[in-house]
Structure 1
Amino acid sequence: MSNTDTPSGTGIDRGALERYLEEQFGPAESFEATEQDGGSSNRTVFVAWGERELVLRCAPEHERVPYLLHDVLGEYGMLSVLTGTAVPVPQPVASCADTSVLGVPFYLMERVDGEILGGEEPARFATPECRQRVGELVIDTLASLHTVEYDPSEVRAVPEGTTAEAVEAHVRNLEDALGTTGRDLDRALEVGEWLREHVPEPPERTLVHGDYKPDNTMMAPSESPQITAVLDWEMAGVGNPRADLGWLLNYWSEAADPDPITPEFEERYGDHELYGTVTEYTREDSTFMAHPSYPSRAELVDRYERRTGIEYRHDRFYRALGLFKLTAICERFYEAYLERPETAKDTYPMMELIPPVLAERATLVVDGETRL
C-alpha cells in the first residue's frame, strides 16, 4: 500500500494514518479512507482497515472557528462514559493526543450501520405508527441521557458554565464575529438583550449533548424505527438539561410555525440569491417532522417530563437561547468564510443569510409567535 498520498477527499497524511493503524491493530491487506460531507466543526473520515470499519474524528486543520468545540478527545471521553448505558453511542476504539501523528488530535470509533434521521423522511417510516414511534425514540433517548448516573470527575462541564454565563458567552461570541463581518444584526442583538433580562434559575445539572437533534441520530436499517447511535458529541458535557431540550425543540417543526422569511425580511435583505438554497438547507433539519402524524413539541415535552422528572420551565427562554447560540455560531462560520474562503466548508457561503434567518426565528419565539 502506498504511504505517500492522502486518503480520498481528505487532507490527512495517508502514510501517517496507515502507520498509526498498523501500530494499533496490526497489518491489513487493504486500507481506504474517505472524508464525509456534513458537519460544520469537526471532520469525519470513514476508515476501512482490512475488514474492520472505523470512523476517524478530528478537528479541521485550517478553518477552525473560535469558540466552537474542536475538542475531539473530550468527545471520545464522553463516548467512553456512555458506553454500556441506555444511550446508544458508537464504541470508542482509540484516541491520540500526539499532534505529530496527523497534525491534530483525533480518535477512532467503530462504524455503526444505519442512516441519519435528516433530510427526507425514510420511506419505510411513512406510517402514523412509525412516525409516532420516531418521536418517542428521539425524546426518550434524550431523557435517557439526562438521567444517566455519572462521576463528575470523569466528565467535563460545558464551556459556558452557568446559564447567565452562557448568555454572556453567546452575546460576546456574536459581537466578536460582527466586529469582523461588519454586519447589522440588530434583531439578534435584541434577542441577546432579552435573554440577559430573563435568565431563569437553572435545574440540577445532568449530562447533556449540546447539539441533540434528529440529524444527529442514526436509525437502524430495520423496518421498525430504532435509534442505533447518537452522533456528534463535541459540545457535550455536564450542563443544563432544559437548554438541551430547548435546542432539540428548535429542530422539531410544526405546520403552524410562522415562516421567518417574510415579505418584510425580503425587503430588508433584497432579492437574495440564497433564499432557495437556505430553504433547501434548512430542510436537512428534518422539517418533515411537521407532518401531523408526528408528536407535537408539547407532546415531546410532556413525555420528557414524565420520563425524567425534570420540569421543562421557561420554554421561550430556552428555545430563544438555542437559536441565539446557533446565530452566533453561524456568524462565526461566515467570519471564517470571509477571512479564509479557500479553506472554508461548502456550507459557509450560506452563512451570509442563515444568521439573519435564525435571528428572525428567535424573535418569533421571544414574541410568542412560534408556540410550544
Structure 2
Amino acid sequence: MSEEEVEATGWDAIEDQMKRLYGQQEPKHYAAMLPYRLGGKDPLSGISAYEAQQPYPHWHFVTFGFSELYDKESENLEYSGYGFELTFRLARSAEEQEPPGWGISLLQNMARYVFSSGNIFASGHYLDANGPICLGADTRLTALAFIDDPELPAVDTPNGRVEFLQMVGITADELEAMMTWNTTSFLHASEEMLPAYITDLARDSLLRLPAIKEAVRLGIERDGSQTGILYVDELGFEPAKGRLLGTAPAVLTMGARQAASVASLLRGRLLKGKPLRLTCPKLQIILEPAQETGCVQDGEIVRISLSEESILELETKLQPKEGEFRLSTAKELKVQVRKTYIKDQEGNVVETIG
C-alpha cells in the first residue's frame, strides 16, 4: 500500500460505501480549488453526485470533508472529525446531464456553518433557511431536516466512526410540525409520500394530506415535542418592579417570528411535564410547568413557572403579531410581542412578521 493510499483512508472509506450502491459508476465530482485551511472559501474538499434511479431518478450527493479524510488529527478517537458526512438526494429530470450547482453551494454553506460555529448536525435536527433552499426558485421548501441516509449505514474508518446524514428539504409548516412533534417520526410517517427522502423543489406540503396531519396530531398527543431548546432572534425579560400604587408586572418579550412556535411548543413540552428553554446570545428563559406561576432571575438565566391554566391561556393568546397582553391566570406576568424584520445578506428588509 502506498503512502498516498494510507493518507487517504478516510476518503477511501466514503467512496467504498458509494461503490457498494453504485458499483463502478463514475460520479460527477466537484473539488475545492483551494483548501479551506489555506484560505479557500469552500470548507469541503469535495462533493460527489451519483445518478440514482430508484425509487425514481435523482442525484445522490455525498460530501468529503466533515470527517478526517487523511491523517488522524483530532483527539477524539471514537469519531472521525465531526463524525459525519452529509448526503442530499435531489429529484433529477430526464434531460439533466449535470447536477444543479445550487445543490453543491448548499452543501458548502452547511459546511461553512459547521466549521465557523462548531455546531454539528445529527439525525433528528432541523434548520430554518429563512427562504427558499434554492435561492430564487419558486418553491415552498424553506427549511432542512436531517436523518440517517436510508442506504448508507455508519462506517468505522481508521480515523473513527462516520455517519451519513441526509439533508431533506421541507416546507415551513412541516418544520413547525417537526418542532412540535419529532423530526424523525414525521419523516418516517411520510416515507410513502417522500420515498428515500428525495428533495423535490416542486412538491407541496405533506400536511395537505389528511393522513399526515392526523399522524402529527396523534404523535404530539402521544409523545409531546422533542424540541427542548428554541433559539429566538429577539428575547427580553424585565423583572417585576415595585411602584407607588402597586407592583409593575414582569415583562417577557419576544419577536413575532417565534411567537407561534413557542405557542405550539407549550402543549408538546410543558403540558407533558417538560421544560422549554428559549435562548439568545445574552439571555436564556426557561419555561417550566408548576403548580403556581412565578418568575426567578439569576443573571442571564430566567425561570418562568407556569400553572396548567396559565400554559393553556398563553398558548391561546400568543400570536405572531405585534402587541402585548397579561394573563388573567398570572397577572404578575406581561407578554410583549414585537415585529420581526427578516433581512437579506445585504441587510435589506425582505419580510416583516407581525
User: When you count helix as a share of all residues, which structure comes out higher?
Assistant: 1
**TM-score, structure 2 normalization:** 0.33
Greater strand proportion: 2
* Structure number with bigger Rg: 2
